[in-house]
Amino acid sequence: MLEAARRKPSRTEEKSGLLVAVAASDLSTPSSDAASQRPLSTVSPATTRADAQLLMQETEDSESISVDEDDSKKHRIVEGKEGSEPATNWIGITWCAVVYFFIATALQALNCVSYMYLTHTGHATGVVLFSVYAYSAKCFKKPLLIGHAVSFLAFGLYLCIMLFPAPARRYVFLIAFFFQSFAEGSSIVLRTYVPRVSSKTDRQAAYGVVSGAMMFSILGGPLIQMAASAPPDWKPLHWLEFINYTYCIYLALLLGIVATVIICTKLTEPAPIKDADEESFSEKMATALTELRSMDKVLMAFLFFERIVTSVTFSALLGAFIPYMQMIVHGDHTKNTLFISGSQACAGATSITAVGLIIFSPAKKIRSSCILFISLTCYAFLYLYSYPWAPISEPITVWSEANPHACNTTQLEWCAQQSHVKLWYWLPPICLLFGLAVPTAMISIDTVYSKMLGNIDQNLMQGALELVNDLASAIAPVITLKIYTDHGPATFWLVLSGVAIVGFLFWLPMIPKMRRLKM
């Protein structure tokens, strides 16, 4: 017994003896100061039944207790077992996905391909400011409502653009477009809402619901544009006109109003993190820095790198998809539009199917690290397959009087020297692989990242990940489209293949670690 008493206490308790080994400062409370000073000992028969039950409960409810002291303040971090986690708030996640769908659909409907850099710049700025505000204010509704207020300001500029002098209208349009992209940055709050209302077990399916909303928005935006093109033009006033684009703005404005009503009436604030509201802004930033230092920096770096890889390859393909399709289809505007819209619809349907499998089928039990491995494999194979290998390729059709929509050598010098994969050999596999790779990469990276961050306010860290995504998406198309224009599709596909393969190879060493972490 004396030897057992001298032994350095461990962090476990034997049920037979109820050996309690927790530092006195960890278990002290204002009402039990005297009890907190007692030496560690084996519970004797004289121990009351209530004490024994309390000690057993504390043992069973916690797997690990770590104490981090910062000057006079002690931060206690308790990670519970999965069984002790609160139930996932599926109603809240569903409303979160609905709001995300309305926000993203409005941006897709008003999207301007010529100013994609402005989209990503505005979105990145909004992500930074809204994530910092949400972290400091410890709330979710206010940033979303502020974002919608900015969005309504953008809608007002869109609709009143005719009141401005003609030379200034272009700049007013760009300002409104920037405001709209900035307002969409408030959706970062919805990404941090998911881990606050979901358990670790359901985290992957919860992110799948939100990602599914984004996939639907990619289809919803073009549908709004199609609906806006049906009504006839009408101009009751000089500054008020109902045309194709303004109909689209009114429909997007309607979505924004509905989203605002849902935020005010249906979206609920999650339970606040203990003691978070008692800190000043500087203390909250210091807490965020302390949390960052305690995280797995290697895993974080790999997740950031994989997000960059998937963002670069995804945005690069989107940037070159239309000119590449026009080259291999070499049809008139109607034929090109039919092929492009049809392929986008097929890829969108595949994406929604993949998200549905992750949410509802037994596939939801697959670990996120394995899903990311599958996604990176699809990315790598997609670009390797797109390279013009001899057995499945044919020469690029060059412009002539018989082919007036073919590749013009006066604009692109490589037209007569290069080949491309035959249309029907290329399009169906690409729609399938693209539809699988994009949503699975989003869901898996978001799930692993949120689990790694743990039970903290994730606004700042999620904002950092989204900022990296925006920067990569803004820069990549500029570079890769230049490569495509100057060197042709063969070099373009090789570059994207190299980036995707590097991302695939970099993730392989992390798989054993993910298995140990059960992610």
Could you tell me if 47 and 38 are in contact, meaning their C-beta atoms sit under 8 angstroms apart? no
**295 alpha carbon, distance to own chain's centre:** 20
Separation CA 368–CA 383 (nearest Å):
23
Separation CA 245–CA 428 (nearest Å):
32
Could you tell me if 470 and 191 are in contact, meaning their C-beta atoms sit under 8 angstroms apart? no
Q: Sorting pLDDT into bands at 50, 70 and 90, what band is 15? A: very low
Could you tell me if 166 and 277 are in contact, meaning their C-beta atoms sit under 8 angstroms apart? no
Token digits for 229? 């093109």
Instruction: Show Cβ contacts of residue 273 under 8 Å, excluding neighbours closer than 6 positions.
Output: 138, 455, 456, 457
**pLDDT tens-digit readout, 345-363:** 788 888 889 898 888 878 7
Burial 276-308 (b: 16+ CB within 10 A, else e): eeeeeeeebeebbeebeeeeeeebbebbbebbb
**pLDDT tens-digit readout, 92-150:** 999 999 999 998 888 777 766 556 777 788 888 999 999 989 888 888 899 999 999 99
Phi first, then psi, for residue 323 (nearest 5°) are -65, -35
The CATH superfamily holding the domain 88-272 is MFS general substrate transporter like domains (1.20.1250.20)
**pTM confidence score:** 0.73
Q: Where are the alpha helices (DSSP H) in 361-456?
A: 368-386, 423-453
- CATH architecture of the domain with range 292-519: Up-down Bundle (1.20)
Q: Are 88-272 and 292-519 the same fold in CATH?
A: yes
DSSP letter at 419 equals: E
**pLDDT tens-digit readout, 378-396:** 999 999 999 999 889 999 9
**pLDDT tens-digit readout, 216-244:** 887 777 777 777 777 777 777 666 777 76
Q: What residue spans define the domains of the chain?
A: 2-80, 88-272, 292-519
Could you tell me if 448 and 519 are in contact, meaning their C-beta atoms sit under 8 angstroms apart? yes
Could you tell me if 225 and 109 are in contact, meaning their C-beta atoms sit under 8 angstroms apart? yes
Could you tell me if 306 and 452 are in contact, meaning their C-beta atoms sit under 8 angstroms apart? no
Phi first, then psi, for residue 64 (nearest 5°) are -150, 145
User: What one-letter code names the amino acid at 85?
Assistant: E
Q: Where are the alpha helices (DSSP H) in 138-165?
A: 141-159
